[in-house]
Structure 1
Amino acid sequence: MPAMPPAAMIGVIGGSGVYQIDGLEGASWVKVSTPWGKPSDEILVGRLNGTPMAFLPRHGRGHVHTPTSVPYRANIDALKRLGCTDVIAVSAVGSLRPDYQPGDFVLVDQYIDRTFAREKSFFGPGCVGHVSIAHPTCTRLGQACLQAAQQAGIKTHPSATYLAMEGPQFSTLAESRLYRSWGADVIGMTGMPEAKLAREAELCYASLAMITDFDCWHPDHGAVDVAAVIQTLTANASAARNLVANLPALLPDHPICPHGCDHALTYALMTAPDKRDPELLARLDAVAGRVLTTDAT
């Protein structure tokens, strides 16, 4: 008989303005050690409506990490190590479209990665791996998020292409116009490499973004105003928490991903087993343990 899929555990990565999850039963902050360094912060673990949940503030409590300094690999490894099966990422973005307005939410399903100063993979020399990110987010999980948003009365656009920039500065006007010409819908600084790493870790990943501004392309809005961004974030934070509270009832107890997110590494490893670096393999115990254990038998 096939093995029972692992029990569902929801991981939430909170972005700017979302530093806690309300209503977690038996909640406690726990330290998680990873071979990729320390995560952004301790992780709040508890149960929400009976479903195990882990919450990780992406920038750390008090917002101590820049978009570049966020330890993305440690964060994803830590959630996988805790047993998370589904990861919902919440972030703040600027809009590149007139109909995607501040205060709206968007479900991100595509990315253009323009970051350049971050480690983007768990794999490397000694264990080469290639995963597909043609469809970088999980449709099953995204649809659950969309339904949860509708139940919470949150205006949410069902599709968006996210332009990931390095930051921490906002765009120039020329850049903002260029990204619009490319067909990007929203712009942010943390969506990549987070989505890539989640795929490598065989986690179902969905990205829900809160629109805070019109970047700088809009003729009636000018440059991004941090004070206005914070005001919109504060107004939206409770809506994001309400959405998360609706998720447990919409997700199965033992999820099987019809899109293969949970088996993304099945054919991804290129390095022959006898040529793999033992030190790197040890670091991959949580992320790639499923396939490494299979290869070893």
Structure 2
Amino acid sequence: MVNPAEIGVIGGSGFYSLFDEAEQVELSTPYGPPSDVITVGRIGSRTVAFIPRHGRDHRFPPHGIPYRANLWALRSLGVRQVLAPSAVGSLRAEHGPGVIVIPDQLVDRTTGRKQTFYDVSAAVHVPFADPYCPLGRSAAVATAKASGLDPVDGGTLVVIEGPRFSTRAESRWFSGNGWTIVGMTGHPEAILARELALCYTSISLITDHDAGVESGEGVTQDEVLSVFAANITRMRSLVSDTVQALPTDRTCPCARTLDGIKLPFDLP
């Protein structure tokens, strides 16, 4: 019997070595299987479940990730707090590759993704004005500062459909709106976590300046992967340290999201 995991990490394959000892768990959900088998282990005194967002062989493009299955599977294991490291592009000239951003706002520019669990039987409306857990954000920012990483505390992540990168015009529009970073996977993860009353914290590593920020040929996949690989060790350390800094008691609004709401089905 697998021990319940209190914290979930959704990230890339470079995060497997978070654990010294771990076990593999296969789960089914009402929304199909998650991206891959889930790895459950310990980081210090905390039990953690890790899902490779794109699958361990990177078979799921951003618009094809089984987001609902991933979040449902984590909750079914006992997870109530989620850390979501990811690679993003910068929309600000002053934030270059290697900078870590802990966003506090999100703009959804996706088009065809399922982004609710409550699309049958009954309408369930959850608050989403502040999409990220305030306690999770505080823990991530404090941990990054203590590690000497000088994170950007706050900012807006705009999530695009992908898998293509932005045009220069799109990128300039995003930047002109005052948004900070652009990515492809931060939504619907954030809203699905909220609909399950989970805490969700984004930890974003800038891998490039987006197409409209600097002149040149624009963003390439090789550039993104190269910068992320060069920073994976410190990102892994930041996630590991943040896991241990997360509160053991959830006093944030995320935990009370579903209070007083009649759900059309039972949650795991």
Which TM-score band (shorter chain)? over 0.9
For residues 70-109 of structure 1, what are the structure 2 equivalents within 5 Å? 70-109=65-104
Which residue does the alignment assign to 1:285? 267
Is 1:22 matched up with 2:17? Answer: yes
CA offset digits 1:51-104 (Å, max 9, x no partner) = 101111100102110001100000000111111121000111000001111110
Which residue does the alignment assign to 1:236? 231
**Is the partner of 1:127 in helix, strand or coil?**
coil
The separation in 2 between residues aligned to 1:140 and 1:248, in whole angstroms, is 12
Which residue does the alignment assign to 1:290? none
Compute the displacement of 1:8 (Å).
7.5
**Can you give the 5+ residue segments of structure 1 that lack an aligned partner in the other structure?**
1-6, 287-297
State which of 257, 264, 274 in structure 1 corresponds to 2:251.
Answer: 257
Which residue does the alignment assign to 1:169? 164
For residues 1-297 of structure 1, what are the structure 2 equivalents within 5 Å? 9-15=6-12, 18-253=13-248, 255-258=249-252, 260-269=253-262, 276=264, 281=265, 284-286=266-268
Range that drifts further, 25-34 or 56-65: 25-34
The separation in 2 between residues aligned to 1:137 and 1:268, in whole angstroms, is 20
**Is the partner of 1:92 in helix, strand or coil?**
strand
Contact map agreement 1:152 1:242 (CA 8 A) in 2: no
The separation in 1 between residues aligned to 2:261 and 2:100, in whole angstroms, is 33
User: What TM-score comes out, normalization by structure 2 length?
Assistant: 0.93
List 4+ stretches of structure 1 deviating above 6 A: none
Compute the displacement of 1:148 (Å).
1.7
Contact map agreement 1:19 1:61 (CA 8 A) in 2: no
User: Percent of aligned pairs with the same residue?
Assistant: 40
Compute the displacement of 1:221 (Å).
4.2
Compute the displacement of 1:160 (Å).
1.4
User: What TM-score comes out, normalization by structure 1 length?
Assistant: 0.85
In our comparison, the structure showing a higher alpha carbon Rg is: 1
**Can you give the 5+ residue segments of structure 2 that lack an aligned partner in the other structure?**
none
Q: Which amino acid aligns with 1:241?
A: R
Which residue does the alignment assign to 1:291? none
Gap change, CA 1:248 and 1:209, over 3 Å in 2:
closer
Q: What RMSD over aligned residues (CA atoms) do the two structures have, in Å?
A: 1.7
Range that drifts further, 224-233 or 79-88: 224-233
Compute the displacement of 1:240 (Å).
1.0
Q: Number of residue pairs matched? A: 265
Q: Which amino acid aligns with 1:10?
A: I
